[in-house]
A and B are shown apart, each in its own frame.
Chain A
Amino acid sequence: MRFDLPNGDYVQALQDVSLELAQGELLSVLGPSGCGKTTLLNIVAGFLAPTSGDITLNGHAVTEPNAERGMVFQQGALFEWMSVRDNVSFGPRMAGKPQSEWGANVDHLLDVVGLQDFKEKAIYELSGGMQQRVALARCLANDPDVILMDEPLGALDALTREKMQGLVLKLWKETGKTIILITHSVEEALLLGERLLVMAPRPGRIHKEYRLPFADLGVGADLREVKKHPEFNERREEILGMIWDMEEEIMGRTEGEA
């Protein structure tokens, strides 16, 4: 993925990123800022067309956004002019389905994410954590094959975030969806990622890939117990060191250029 700039210059945002994801896998992507995580996600979502290479899902190439790939954003992607229920039922309604088809499912999803008492509320009346639960439910109501999450919990406070991580794991197991999750929290990547991708910047590329047991351990369990797992700490230190080195490299280079 290369961005050609008007002045003839270019930015190599991603280079040689190849990966294959099986049905029902949860992949978390981690990396220092500017390593192309979001660019990668935007390409997968179909918002950006790659300069070379291709994305294949269900046997066809990805060229534009589609309901088969749902997206959960960090914040502010809900429609404030609709009630919670209207937000969640947006996908089915846009597809022209009658209420009899989606009504029960939407109610069920709102129950699952714990918003049973807030179905008719306006979005601005909800807290940040509740809003992200609406975003999750909205995505699931459309029944996508792949869910793309762009730092979905990034704007939440630490306690709400832990609760939400449990919810994401629970929904993942219950629905069996394939999920790609972008985060800049090492703990979150370790806890949620069945597979974990560490990316390196300039140009954005895959630095290292892990297969982790914590996501399965964490389903239905106390996430704080999972964090006490000896391997968890080891991995965290390892990845933190990795990213630390990369950040240092970036800093050093900018200082050198200056």
Chain B
Amino acid sequence: MIPFLIYIVIFIVAFLVVRTVTDQAQKGFNARKTVTFGDESAVRSNRVASVISILTLFLLWGTFTGSSLLPGFLHMPGAFTGTTTFEYTARADDGSEDTATVTVLVHPAQEDADAPEVDPGDGWAKNDAAAIGAYRSGLIRVDRNDEKGRDQGHQIIAVNGQPIAPGGEVFVDNARLGMSEKGTLNFVPAKGWQMEAIWLPPPEKVVERLGEIASSGYRDSTLWEHLGFSLFRVIVGFVCGALVGIPLGYAMGLSGWFRGWFDPIVEFMRPVPPLALIPLIIIWFGIGENGKIILLFLAALWIMAIAARAGVSGVAISKVHAAYSLGASKWQIMRHVIVPNSLPEIFTGARVAMGVCWGTVVAAELVAAEQGAGMMIMVASKFQLTDIVILGIILIGIIGFGIDVLMRMGERWLVPWKGKI
């Protein structure tokens, strides 16, 4: 909740600051428009906002993980470490009350530490000491060294002067003290606002891990092998799907028999999510490469077939008529009119299919694989290696985005007339 509120505050403050700082005078044909609300063409993506948006995400990530990339004053208060003390007041059966001090050393959880030495003090209740890891909690049996133990009705009635009873709790400096039903104190050091690295590692830890698994690998394969395997599966599956799907789509667009024959199959298979096929694919083909490539082939096949069919039906009849009356043969119509005219649709389909394939391969690797980006993050998550999981997700996102950018560049190169007629 707090990170979210901070995010909103940064959003608003950045907007106000950027608006006052930057030059409002726009240039171009939209500059003199008075109606911009509702005119989508007048809305330009604000580059400054994009940059601040990304920086904000990393800033929040850094502040809530105590990143060393950020100066200390930007860090959220972290978990308490160090020595803290509190006093408890105990009462025995005979009605006598005594007060003693407990000294607790809160140490980083991954290090071992011994309880500090303390002077037992006077009175029948003796001073205690304990060592508890940050983000952890521990029971402190303060009655153990007291002269009047539980056999004499030792009972804690107050902490730092505040009364406490079994089931209740008291807040002291740097900690919360709960009391169990049996009357034992449970010491919970203050966690602060930072995330423990096991849930969310700071950015530099992720970068460090990137270098580590890029050079020495994870699970017998380097990072590039993992990503390469995923990409290889996607490309082979997609190419096979396109090689079969595009001719199938053309046939469906050009022949009534083909359309009648394959329509029920395509229309049935299209809404089946490829992920739903994973169990069947594993039963039939096992968890090796074949199964994955067949799965991706099936994921791309129907999308490409439908795109090619739409491409054929999108050919203006006047173009076909014109080509015929210019003396073109059927084959020439196919080669020079139908195929180029369907390219925009096929590219749209290919972009969708690549996106679906990339998602499917990661999911298939999550289920079962020897190598692959999905397998890497799945195995890492089982060992609570959150940094590898986050690294994997970021790399999967970057590659997916990269694929789409490449497809768009190819589209602009091969179909320059798209959207201009």
**Chain A residues within 8 Å of B, Cβ to Cβ:** 45-47, 64-67, 69-71, 73-81, 90-91, 94-95, 122-124, 135, 138-139, 142, 144, 148
Q: Chain A's nearest CB lies how many Å from the CB of B286?
A: 44
Contacts A76-B319, A90-B336, A94-B332; A122 near B327 (Cβ below 8 A)? no
Residue tally, chain B, CB below 8 Å to A: 23
Q: Which residues of A contact B415 (CB under 8 A)?
A: 81
B420: which A residues are within 8 A, CB to CB? 80, 124
Q: Is the CB of B326 within 8 A of A80?
A: no
Binding stretch for chain A, among B155-163, B205-213, B337-345, B384-392: B337-345
| B322 touches A (CB below 8 Å) | yes
Interface residues of B (CB under 8 A from A): 316, 318-319, 321-329, 332, 336-337, 340-341, 343, 415-417, 420-421
B340 pairs with A67, CB closer than 8 A: no
Bound form: Cα–Cα A81–B341 in Å: 8
Residue from A45, A74, A122, A124 in contact with B325 in the complex, judged by beta carbons closer than 8 Å: A45
Give the Cβ gap from A100 to chain B, nearest Cβ, in Å.
19
Asked if A73 and B417 sit within 8 Å, CB to CB, the answer is no
B229 CB to closest chain A CB, in angstroms?
A: 37
A124 touches which of B326, B340, B417 (Cβ 8 Å): B417
- Smallest Cβ-Cβ distance to A72: which chain B residue: B322
Q: Is the CB of A81 within 8 A of B417?
A: yes
**A73 adjacent to B326 (CB under 8 Å):** no
Cα of A139 to Cα of B72 in the assembled complex, Å = 76
Residues of A within 8 A of B322 (CB): 71, 73, 77-78, 135, 138
Known: A77-B318, A79-B336, A79-B337. A91 touches B421 (CB 8 A): no
Q: CA of A75 to CA of B341 in the docked complex: distance in angstroms?
A: 16
| Interface pair A70/B325, CB less than 8 Å apart | yes
Contact B321 A81 (CB under 8 A): no
Chain B nearest CB, measured from A58 CB (Å): 15
- With A47-B321, A71-B325, A81-B341 known, 5 other A-B pairs at CB within 8 A are A69-B325, A71-B321, A77-B318, A91-B326, A148-B325
A135 and B323 CA atoms in complex are apart in Å by 12
Is the Cβ of B340 less than 8 Å from the Cβ of A79?
yes
**Contact (A79, B319) CB under 8 Å given A94-B332, A124-B417, A124-B420:** yes
Partner of B321, one of A73, A94, A135: A73
